[in-house]
């Protein structure tokens, strides 16, 4: 620290307020180098000195970013970052961070489209790249992020599948009949239908997270890392009482050894097939066979709340959504519900029947009464 000489050049190196300031003074003597250092220290204190960004290649920065992601992000998110970086490295690896720009991203977009990748895949990659550059700015390796205002591709809206009650009955019966080492699948599916929990939230749910007295369960491993309370209705209460009696485990749903479930059992997919829960959907311009997913149980939960007239704010709080846009998807999404809404006009027509029109006055019968 201080001033020092390497070859013919003198350098200063000091820290102020957690920021390192290091720069060459050129071919001067030690006295001049100290004077320059004094000036730069004063500028740093006054906020006038902007240190030069450290030049770093994308491929050298990527491991540092991933190490930070593994420490501070959920495992699923850090693994997604790792996948994206593998895709980004051939295109950006030899480029220094300060030279990355939107033109390079546009070329990357063209390449990924030619490979037949979906818009969502490209968006995940560029979101990772943008977050990397944000982190580089935070770490003083970059002055600003050139992708800060970059617009991602428009993605096709996720097609939700809200089960009808007849489909639910078929699925639960199939869950009961498929072979499995632990007979937990029917309870787990029913629990998801009545709580709206995500699969990982359900797998992480522990006995200690259940408040039987207040009839709430606490989600501790949510997607946005925020705690939330979910009310326990009668169906959840019955399942929970049964699951709490199981000895040798801290989890509500567990494997044969009592450990946390790490994967979705294949029995679920066998039950989906047995229940006939598949349909044709257009995926990127092609008609494909799509099967019901575990996450659609959450969609079913939200859709039923919406069709029951539950307000958006309450749905957001129960399901753990951060924006109204996500919760608004559950406002009357089912075709049957929409048909019933329109059919209500037929009922109005039958009730509000014109009885008589006299000269200068209109007489209508409303519910058998004249108006």
What CATH number does the domain containing 63 carry? Answer: 1.10.150
**Tens-digit pLDDT string for the chain (371 aa):** 789 988 888 989 888 876 778 888 889 999 999 999 999 999 988 888 876 656 789 999 999 999 999 999 888 899 999 999 999 999 999 999 989 999 999 999 999 999 988 888 999 999 999 999 999 988 878 888 999 889 998 876 567 889 999 999 999 999 988 876 667 999 999 999 999 999 999 999 999 999 999 999 999 888 777 889 999 999 999 999 999 998 999 999 998 889 999 889 899 999 999 999 999 887 666 778 889 999 999 999 999 998 888 889 999 999 998 887 777 777 765 666 667 767 777 776 766 654 444 444 544 444 444 44
Q: Using one digit for the tens of pLDDT, what is the confidence trace for 194-247?
A: 999 999 999 999 999 999 999 999 998 887 778 899 999 999 999 999 999 989
What is the domain range of residue 358?
334-371
Q: Where are the beta strands (DSSP E) in 183-277?
A: 210-211, 216-219, 228-231
Domain boundary among 100, 123, 138: 138
Q: Does 360 fall in a domain?
A: yes
| Residues 105 and 198 occupy one common structural domain | no
Same domain, 174 and 291: yes
Please state the domain count of the chain. Answer: 4
CB atoms under 10 Å from CB of 238, counted, come to 14
My answer on whether 80 and 132 are in the same domain is yes
Looking at the fold, whether 289 and 177 belong to one and the same domain comes out as: yes
Q: Please, which residues have CB within 8 angstroms of residue 202's CB and are 6 or more apart in sequence?
A: 188, 191, 192, 195, 252, 253
Q: Are residues 182 and 238 in the same domain?
A: yes
Bridge partners of 254? 260
Q: Contact 306/331 with Cβ under 8 angstroms? A: yes
What does the alpha-carbon distance between residue 138 and residue 61 come to, in Å, rounded to a whole number?
Answer: 13
DSSP string over 342-357: HHHHHHHHHHEEEEEE
Q: Are residues 77 and 40 both part of a single domain?
A: no
Query: How many CA atoms lie less than 13 Å away from 289 in the CB half-sphere?
Result: 4
Domain boundary among 277, 296, 315: 296
């Amino acid at each position: 620290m201080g001033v020092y000489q390497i070859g013919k050049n003198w350098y200063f190196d000091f820290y102020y307020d957690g920021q390192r300031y290091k720069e060459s003074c050129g071919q001067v003597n030690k006295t001049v180098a100290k004077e320059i250092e004094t000036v730069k220290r004063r500028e740093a204190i006054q906020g006038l000195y902007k240190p030069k960004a450290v030049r770093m290649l994308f491929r050298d920065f990527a491991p540092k970013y991933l190490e930070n992601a593994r420490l501070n992000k959920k495992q699923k998110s850090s693994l997604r970052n790792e996948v994206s970086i593998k895709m980004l490295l051939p295109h950006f690896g030899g480029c220094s961070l300060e030279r990355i720009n939107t033109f390079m991203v546009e070329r990357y977009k063209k390449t990924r489209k030619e490979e037949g990748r979906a818009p969502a895949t490209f968006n995940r990659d560029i979101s990772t790249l943008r977050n990397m550059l944000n982190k580089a700015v935070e770490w003083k390796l970059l002055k600003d992020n050139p992708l800060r205002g970059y617009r991602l591709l428009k993605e096709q809206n996720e097609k939700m599948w809200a089960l009808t009650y007849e489909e639910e009955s078929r699925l639960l019966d199939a869950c009961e009949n498929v072979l499995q080492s632990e007979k937990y699948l029917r309870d787990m599916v029913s629990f998801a239908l009545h709580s709206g929990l995500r699969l990982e939230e359900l797998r992480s749910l522990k006995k200690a997270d259940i408040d039987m007295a207040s009839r709430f369960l606490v989600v501790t491993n949510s997607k946005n890392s925020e705690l939330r309370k979910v009310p326990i209705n009668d169906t959840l209460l019955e399942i929970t009482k049964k699951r709490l009696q199981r000895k040798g485990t801290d989890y509500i749903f567990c494997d044969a050894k009592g450990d946390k479930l790490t994967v979705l059992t294949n029995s679920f997919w066998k039950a989906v097939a047995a229940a006939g829960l598949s349909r044709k959907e257009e995926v990127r311009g092609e008609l494909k066979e799509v099967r019901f997913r575990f996450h659609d149980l959450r969609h079913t939960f939200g859709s039923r709340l919406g069709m029951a007239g539950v307000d958006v704010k309450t749905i957001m709080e129960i399901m753990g959504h951060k924006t109204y846009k996500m919760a608004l998807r559950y406002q009357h999404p089912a075709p049957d519900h929409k048909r019933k809404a329109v059919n209500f006009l037929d009922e109005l027509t039958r009730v509000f029947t014109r009885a008589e029109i006299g000269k200068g006055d209109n007489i209508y019968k409303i519910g058998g009464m004249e108006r």
